[in-house]
Amino acid sequence: MSLYKAIVAKEEKISVIGLGYVGLPLAIAFAKVADVVGYNITRDRVEQYRKGIDVTKEVGDQAVKETTAFFTWEEKYLRQCKFHVVAVPTPLNKDKTPDLGPVISASEIVGRNLTKGSYVIYESTVYPGVTEDICLPILEKESGLKAGVDFKIGYSPERINPGDKIHRLENIVKVSAGMDEESSETIAKVYELIIEAGVHRAESIKVAEAAKVIENAQRDINIAFMNELSIIFNQLGIDTNAVLEAANTKWNFLNFTPGLVGGHCIGVDPYYLVYKAEEIGYHSQIILSGRKINDDMAKYVAENLVKNMIKADKPIKGATVAIFGITFKENCPDVRNSKVVDVIEELKEYGINIKVVDSVADEEDLFYSYGISLTNPEEIQGVDAVLFAVNHDEFKDIKLEDVKKLYNNTRNGVVQTNEVAATSDDPNSTKDVLVDVKGLFDRKEAEALDYLYWRL
């Protein structure tokens, strides 16, 4: 009996190694059609899942409670499985080079528990060659088995968009590849059990690896272009959103917008491609240029917030700024590589105190990773400026009139009254500073309410 048929008949099991934003939805989906072991090295996270708590907020508590997947932190259970899917993160080192530590560690764990006739499929984003040149030898060394004879490998890049409730695992076309024709077909057929949109069979593992890494590099470059335009239009006194709204009336204009580019994909994957390019002697120009622009946007946002505070006669050192949203994107608890954190670090350099509001963010991870604690919205008062950094759905109900209540009504130590405002030489000195990174509010409405309003 083929491995595919054995999985369908529930005579063989699937394992998912890494139960984060990618691995958990994958384990839940596979468990609807097969026996699944979900493995995570962190015991605390596994225990949360066993209690029916979805810490990723990707599938929901109910789905976690009802799944038949067996969650464990003990690697011995992987020996019961024949189809292993590795879905661990691939972050960056401080010098922007690939940190393959998690995928190497996962390969060692799988290798120690690999049995004859097994398949190992990697979903982690990597540069072309990692699966075959780095992971495969580890699997062979740890297992004592021979690839292509005793077990086979493949690659199928994740395409989940965290926080996106429309583009889900099941309705996004999957790309997959194996080390030979037989493994390519088997891997594709197993994924077709859960992927309604279908599976594209790439011609090789390296092609599949390259396809994934350029998807995010392409988005990164396009957003960098929008960010550069935003910088130019800001200098010209032109509203970027208004320009893009006009340009989008053309049928083939690409609908990208400026913003802070963080997270574990777009802000990371281009560096993986650049690393491999430099390894073969090619120095990237477009990719690195886009990365530099996007990496510098946090500093740009912080500087413009400070400039507007100065215009409003607000003292900088010792001032308090309320920041709404700290995750790397809207409606997602993930704070990994969040560029809002970089904005905060820049503002702290000016001696500014920061209060962060975000009920979506993973509070424990935020404090563990960055030492940042969250503040309840009710405790925000007497601030000198407000910055909306992430457009969570929960923020869309906030009215500009309500934001007004958050501000300190003194300037340079003087309580602001209509009489004092009337004697000011600078009309901006009577205004409240509001930085709206992604354009959550209407500019004209904000200015009509006497905000000193700025956005990308």
pLDDT higher than 80, residue 414: no
pLDDT at 162 over 80: no
Among candidate residues 189, 198, 197, 177, the one with its CA nearest the CA of residue 33? 189
Task: Report the length, in residues, of the chain.
Answer: 456
CB 314 within 8 A of CB 411: yes
Task: Answer whether residue 444 shows pLDDT above 90.
Answer: yes
Structure tokens given for 407: 């501000």
pLDDT at 58: 87
Stated pTM of the model: 0.88
Per annotation, catalytic residue among 81, 135, 265, 332? 265
Bridge-based pairing state of the strands 414-415 and 410-411: antiparallel
Nearest alpha carbon to residue 68 among 13, 125, 111, 148: 13
Alpha helices in 118-239 (DSSP H): 130, 136-143, 181-191, 205-236
Q: pLDDT tens digit string along 282-317?
A: 999 999 999 999 999 999 999 999 999 999 999 999
Q: Which residue has the higher pLDDT, 176 or 329?
A: 176
CA dist., res. 175 & res. 163, Å (int): 21
> Would the pLDDT of 238 be above 70?
yes
Q: What is the pLDDT of residues 122-152, one digit of tens each?
A: 999 999 999 999 999 999 999 999 999 999 9
Alpha-carbon distance of 107 to 92, in angstroms, equals: 18
> What's the pLDDT band for 413 if we cut at 50, 70, 90?
very low
The reply to whether 81 belongs to the active site is no
The answer to whether residue 417 scores a pLDDT higher than 50 is no
Q: How confident is the model at residue 410 (pLDDT cuts 50, 70, 90)?
A: low
Q: Is the pLDDT of residue 423 over 60?
A: no
- Beta bridge mates, 14: 36, 83
Mean pLDDT of the 421-443 span: 80
Q: What pLDDT is recorded for position 422? A: 40
Q: Output the pLDDT for position 337.
A: 87
Mean pLDDT, rounded, for 91-106: 94
**pLDDT score of 89 more than 60:** yes
Mean pLDDT of 36-49: 96
Residue whose C-alpha is closest to residue 256's, from 265, 270, 266, 264: 266
pLDDT tops 80 at residue 415? no
More confident site: 51 or 166 = 51
Say yes or no to pLDDT of 386 above 50.
yes
- Give residue 412's pLDDT band: very low, low, confident or very high (50, 70, 90): very low
Q: Mean pLDDT, to the nearest integer, of 320-335?
A: 93
Under the banding of pLDDT at 50, 70 and 90, the label for residue 418 is: very low
CB–CB of 389/298 below 8 Å?
Answer: no
Residue 417, classed as helix, strand or coil, is coil
What's the chain's Rg over C-alpha atoms? 25
**What is the per-residue DSSP string for 373-406?**
----GGG--SBSEEEE-S--GGGTT--HHHHHTT
Q: What's the rounded Cα separation, in Å, for the pair 196 and 168? A: 10
Helices (H) and strands (E) in the chain, counts: 18, 15
Q: Tell me, what's the pLDDT at 194? A: 96
**pLDDT for the residue 425:** 61
- Quickly list DSSP for 208-261: HHHHHHHHHHHHHHHHHHHHHHHHHHHHHT--HHHHHHHHTTSTT---------
Q: Which amino acid is at 392?
A: H
Give percent of the chain with pLDDT exceeding 70. Answer: 95
